[in-house]
Amino acid sequence: MERLIEPGAFRDVLGRFASGITMVAALGPDGQPAGLACQSFASLSLDPPLILLCVGKGSTSWPKIAAAGHFAVSILAEEHRDACAALAAPGTDKFAALPWSATPHGTVHLDGALATVDCALEAVHEAGDHLLVTGRVLDLTAREDGTPLLYFRGGYATGAF
């Protein structure tokens, strides 16, 4: 018999898995940056190089990113707490106070990110109340230092390594 899983309990239990936080962003059709905070990000395949991420179906930023056909994932460092909060806020100019750079791929990088991964949109699949997105990696960069910004039990954490 299948057990009914209460959403609060699901969130509480799965919140014990620490995850990194990323910014997913592109230049929208109007040439302005569009982006969102995302903690559901992972490598998927080496051959071909693919990543995956999950985006809530209610995101107002995702349609602009998807329309671009390309996006970048910037892996946030501990100093990006304010950037993460700005990216998570609906209906605001998320990039007004963020230092960012456009790339030749039509993507947007957050300055100072631990790493960036530029992708072509590969596929989008419906998965419950989210979209499962795969991207084909076109380019990537990483800085040599820094501490990741993590999400753990409903709040920010850092991992000193």
pLDDT (tens digit per residue) in 64-81: 999 999 999 999 999 999
Structure tokens at 153: 């039990």
Q: Kindly state whether residue 106 falls inside one of the protein's structural domains.
A: yes
Q: Kindly state whether residue 11 falls inside one of the protein's structural domains.
A: no
Structure tokens at 81: 């707490």
Question: Is the confidence at residue 27, as pLDDT, over 80?
Answer: yes
Question: Is the confidence at residue 161, as pLDDT, over 70?
Answer: no
Q: Kindly state whether residue 7 falls inside one of the protein's structural domains.
A: no
Q: Kindly state whether residue 13 falls inside one of the protein's structural domains.
A: no
Q: Kindly state whether residue 156 falls inside one of the protein's structural domains.
A: no
Q: Kindly state whether residue 63 falls inside one of the protein's structural domains.
A: yes
Place of tokens 């499962």: 132
The mean pLDDT value for 50-68 works out to 96
Structure tokens at 37: 């905070």
The mean pLDDT value for 48-60 works out to 96
Q: Kindly state whether residue 108 falls inside one of the protein's structural domains.
A: yes
Rounded distance, CA 4 to CA 11, Å?
Answer: 14
Identify the CA nearest to 25 among candidates 82, 66, 86.
66
Convert the pLDDT of each residue in 88-114 to its tens digit. Answer: 888 778 999 899 999 999 999 999 999
Look up the domain containing 99 and give its range.
21-142
The mean pLDDT value for 144-158 works out to 88
- Residues with Cβ within 8 Å of residue 141, at least 6 apart in sequence: 115, 116
Q: Kindly state whether residue 51 falls inside one of the protein's structural domains.
A: yes
- Mean pLDDT score of the chain: 92
Identify the CA nearest to 38 among candidates 56, 50, 16, 18.
56
The total number of structural domains that make up the chain:
1
Residue 63 belongs to domain with CATH number? 2.30.110.10
